[in-house]
Chains A and B, each alone.
Chain A
Amino acid sequence: MRVIERKSLPTEEPYVVTGLPDIGLVGTIAALHIIRQLDMEEMAYFESDALPPVIVLHKGRLTMPVRIYGRDKLYIVASEIAISPEVMSSLARNIVDYAISKNAKAIIMLGGLAIPNRLEIEKPKVYAVATFDSLINDVKTLGVEPLDEGFVVGIHALILRECVFRRIPALLLLAQCHVQYPDPGAAASIIETLNKFIGLNINVEPLLKEAESLRLKLRELMRRTAATLSRIQKSHEYEVPPMMYV
């Protein structure tokens, strides 16, 4: 796999944010909303024989399914296809390589934390996992609770692992969400947290207004993502690590 770059931002220490298909499509929905609100430009895309034979058509223009957008001090990695287990490792490595090549301040991953009683929750809470304590301390001041115990499974786990090995600052933000339905409400919560953390001003009202329409459009991607998550045993995230009492 490689990154084919078309443009680059003339900026020092940008943030690299990922919004990849995962539980509740929280990251995907959040990324797409931020890209639209900031009118971000396509900077690069990922190319690999291991990616499915898919090309995307938007307003008559061909574009690759997994790509990177940029504006000001922010890069966003987004995908319009489910990320298969066969591609996850190389994608994670390439994302981290890209962040290092841009001298990124941190990699911030946006994702969901499935909870069974999501219907009873009006405003989803956001939790955090990070490779450095300083990042955790920073998000704590914003009212985000760190996760103390558990498993992280999937593309986020691979990016975190890569960042632990290479000592890269990485933060995973997880919003409470539905287990298998697209959740724009959770995406709105995570964008609000991101706004405070990196000083953005993304308005989430338009996202909440079009929530129903988004849920309708994202059914297929949610179904394929759920099938992928089942293959990688995502249910590990609901378990308690056996050594938690050590």
Chain B
Amino acid sequence: MSFEERINELFERLRREVRRFVEDIERYMELEQPMWCYETRSLEPLFTITETEDELIVTFDLPMVDKDSIEIHATEDSLELEAKLRHAIPGPRYLGREVCFEKFRKVIKLPIKVDPHNAKARYKDGILEIRFPKISRQRHRINIL
């Protein structure tokens, strides 16, 4: 391996370690946030984001919710979900008061740009699945005059 290749490899390792360090910190900070908000009386749902070649798939775990009470709004790079619980759930005491949670609420920044107009959603067994087509990036040839 040449000297240049060795230096590149070292820098690549350093980049990976820094990226992993930042991800660990982000994960730690996210874990320290509670999964509820007293001000909005809302719970944060569990969710996952996966990608296929053509689609971005976002799923939410929404137990104790009826399909008709789910509202989803999306842009090219964000998703907002609100879903009313079938009945209010008591939470832990907060500042001496008992608070009840009434809904799930979550706003997500999507990792890539999607086409919200052609998104499809289904709700089955308490799991909401939303499939967004990815915005296809077409290559254009630019002519030089």
Interface residues in chain A, defined as those with a beta carbon under 8 Å from any beta carbon in chain B: 116, 119, 178-182, 185, 211-213, 215-216, 219-220, 222-224, 227, 230
B89 engages A220 (CB within 8 Å)? no
Most buried by A among B44, B48, B125, B127: B125
Q: Whole-angstrom distance between the alpha carbons of A212 and B48 in the complex?
A: 18
Q: Any chain A CB within 8 A of the CB of B111?
A: no
Q: Whole-angstrom distance between the alpha carbons of A66 and B95 in the complex?
A: 30
A230 engages B35 (CB within 8 Å)? no
Q: A181 contacts which chain B residues (CB < 8 A)?
A: 46, 61, 127
Within 8 A of A (CB), among B26-50: 27, 31, 35, 43-46, 48, 50
B27 engages A222 (CB within 8 Å)? no
A220 engages B126 (CB within 8 Å)? no
Q: Closest Cβ of chain A: how far from B102's Cβ, in Å?
A: 13
B127 engages A119 (CB within 8 Å)? yes
A212 engages B126 (CB within 8 Å)? yes
Q: A182 contacts which chain B residues (CB < 8 A)?
A: 61
- A122 closest partner in B (C-beta): B125
Q: B48 contacts which chain A residues (CB < 8 A)?
A: 179-180
How many residues in B have their beta carbons less than 8 Å from beta carbons of A? 18
Partner of B63, one of A119, A212, A227, A230: A212
- B48 closest partner in A (C-beta): A180
A227 engages B27 (CB within 8 Å)? yes
Q: A227 contacts which chain B residues (CB < 8 A)?
A: 27, 31
Q: A230 contacts which chain B residues (CB < 8 A)?
A: 27
Q: Whole-angstrom distance between the alpha carbons of A122 and B35 in the complex?
A: 29
Q: Whole-angstrom distance between the alpha carbons of A212 and B45 in the complex?
A: 13
Q: A223 contacts which chain B residues (CB < 8 A)?
A: 31, 35, 46
B124 engages A215 (CB within 8 Å)? no
Q: Whole-angstrom distance between the alpha carbons of A243 and B129 in the complex?
A: 37
Q: Any chain A CB within 8 A of the CB of B88?
A: no
Q: Whole-angstrom distance between the alpha carbons of A216 and B126 in the complex?
A: 11
Q: B129 contacts which chain A residues (CB < 8 A)?
A: 119
B126 engages A219 (CB within 8 Å)? no
B64 engages A219 (CB within 8 Å)? no
Partner of B31, one of A116, A211, A224: A224
Q: A116 contacts which chain B residues (CB < 8 A)?
A: 50
Q: Whole-angstrom distance between the alpha carbons of A177 and B46 in the complex?
A: 15
Q: Whole-angstrom distance between the alpha carbons of A114 and B129 in the complex?
A: 17
Q: Whole-angstrom distance between the alpha carbons of A179 and B67 in the complex?
A: 22
Within 8 A of A (CB), among B65-89: 89
A216 engages B27 (CB within 8 Å)? no
Q: B89 contacts which chain A residues (CB < 8 A)?
A: 216
Q: Closest Cβ of chain A: how far from B67's Cβ, in Å?
A: 14
Please give me the 5 A-B residue pairs with the lowest Cβ-Cβ distance, nearest first: A212-B63, A215-B63, A181-B61, A212-B64, A216-B63
B64 engages A216 (CB within 8 Å)? yes
Q: B27 contacts which chain A residues (CB < 8 A)?
A: 227, 230
Q: Whole-angstrom distance between the alpha carbons of A212 and B126 in the complex?
A: 8
Q: B63 contacts which chain A residues (CB < 8 A)?
A: 211-213, 215-216
Partner of A213, one of B43, B61, B64: B64
Within 8 A of A (CB), among B3-57: 27, 31, 35, 43-46, 48, 50
Q: Whole-angstrom distance between the alpha carbons of A186 and B18 in the complex?
A: 38
Cβ proximity bits B101-144 to A, threshold 8 Å, 1 near / 0 not: 00000000000000000000000111101000000000000000
